[in-house]
A and B are shown apart, each in its own frame.
Chain A
Amino acid sequence: MVGKLVGRGLLFAALILVVPVSSWSADSDSASNLREIKREIRELAADRERAQEKIERLEKRVEQLEGENAQIKATNAQIKTETVQTTEQVKTLSQAVELGPSPDGMAKAFKGYLGSHTFTLTGSAGMDFIADQQNGALAGLPHQTQNSFFFDWEPMMLYRPNDWMLFEGVLGAAFGSTGTGVDLSSALIYLFPNDYATIVGGLFDLPFGDWYEDQSPMWVNKFVSAPLPYAVEPVVPPAELGIELRNGMQWGSVGQDLDYTVYLGQGPGYSANVPGAAATSPVAIASKQTNGKSVGGRFRLYPLPIDANLGRLEVGVSSYDGKWLDGKWLTSWGADFNYLLGNLQARGEWVQSYRQMPAPYKQDNRQGWYLQLGYMLGDLNLPGVPDEINNYVHRLQPLVRYSGVNQHYVDTDDIVAATGLGQGGIQMGLIPDFGLSNSPALYAPHSREVAFGLDYWIAPSIVWQNEFDLELPRAGGTFINGAGMTSPAGSIPNDKAFLSQFTIGF
Chain B
Amino acid sequence: MAMKKIIIALILVAAAFGPIMTPCRAAEETKAEKRQMIRLGAKLWPVYCNQCHNARPGSEFAPYQWDQVMMHMRALPNLPAQDARAILEYLKDGRD
Q: Is the pair B47, A306 in contact by a Cβ cutoff of 8 Å?
A: yes
Measured between C-beta atoms, what is the minimum distance from B29 to chain A in Å?
A: 12
A199-B53 contact, Cβ under 8 Å, with A103-B95, A166-B71, A312-B47: no
Q: Which residue of A lies closest to B57 (CB)?
A: A460
A250-B80 contact, Cβ under 8 Å, with A255-B47, A306-B43: yes
Chain B: residues with Cβ within 8 Å of the partner, total of: 53
Instruction: Spot the interface stretch: A211-219, A401-409, A444-452, A493-501.
Output: A211-219
* 243-270 of chain A: CB within 8 A of chain B: 243, 245-250, 254-255, 257, 259-262, 264
Instruction: Spot the interface stretch: A41-49, A50-58, A113-121, A351-359.
Output: A113-121
Chain B 1-34, CB-CB to A under 8 Å as 1, else 0, gives 0110011001001100111111111000000000
Measured between C-beta atoms, what is the minimum distance from B7 to chain A in Å?
A: 7
Q: Is the pair A248, B80 in contact by a Cβ cutoff of 8 Å?
A: yes
Q: Is the pair B51, A248 in contact by a Cβ cutoff of 8 Å?
A: no
Give the residues in chain A near B63, CB-CB below 8 Å.
103, 106-107, 110-111
**Does A95 make an interface contact (CB < 8 A)?**
no
Q: Is the pair B78, A461 in contact by a Cβ cutoff of 8 Å?
A: no
**Does B50 make an interface contact (CB < 8 A)?**
yes
Q: Is the pair A194, B18 in contact by a Cβ cutoff of 8 Å?
A: yes
Measured between C-beta atoms, what is the minimum distance from A216 to chain B in Å?
A: 11
Q: Is the pair B7, A264 in contact by a Cβ cutoff of 8 Å?
A: yes
Chain B 69-80, CB-CB to A under 8 Å as 1, else 0, gives 101101111111
* 412-431 of chain A: CB within 8 A of chain B: none
Q: Is the pair A245, B10 in contact by a Cβ cutoff of 8 Å?
A: yes
Measured between C-beta atoms, what is the minimum distance from A327 to chain B in Å?
A: 11
Give the residues in chain A near B54, CB-CB below 8 Å.
457, 460-461
CA distance A160 to B21 in the complex (A): 16
A193-B61 contact, Cβ under 8 Å, with A158-B69, A200-B75, A460-B56: no
Interface of B (DSSP majority class) = helix
Give the residues in chain B near A248, CB-CB below 8 Å.
77-80
Give the residues in chain A near B17, CB-CB below 8 Å.
194, 196-197, 247
Q: Is the pair B69, A120 in contact by a Cβ cutoff of 8 Å?
A: yes
Q: Is the pair A194, B10 in contact by a Cβ cutoff of 8 Å?
A: no
Give the residues in chain A near B92, CB-CB below 8 Å.
103, 107
Q: Is the pair A254, B43 in contact by a Cβ cutoff of 8 Å?
A: yes
CA distance A243 to B48 in the complex (A): 25
Chain A 64-94, CB-CB to B under 8 Å as 1, else 0, gives 0000000000000000000000000000000
Beyond the given A194-B19, A249-B80, please list 19 additional residue pairs across the A-B interface where CB-CB is below 8 A: A103-B63, A103-B92, A110-B64, A163-B23, A163-B24, A192-B75, A195-B82, A196-B17, A198-B78, A250-B82, A255-B44, A262-B13, A264-B7, A292-B2, A293-B6, A300-B78, A306-B43, A457-B54, A460-B53
Top 9 A-B residue pairs of the complex, sorted by shortest distance between their CB atoms: A259-B78, A196-B17, A248-B78, A195-B81, A460-B54, A194-B18, A196-B18, A107-B63, A158-B68
Residue numbers of A with Cβ under 8 A of B are 103, 106-107, 110-111, 114, 118-120, 122, 158-160, 162-164, 166, 168, 190, 192-200, 210, 213-215, 219-220, 243, 245-250, 254-255, 257, 259-262, 264, 292-293, 295, 300, 306, 312, 314, 338, 340, 345, 457, 460-461, 505-506
Offer 8 A-B interface pairs, CB within 8 angstroms, sorted by A: A162-B23, A164-B21, A164-B23, A193-B20, A215-B52, A250-B83, A255-B44, A259-B79
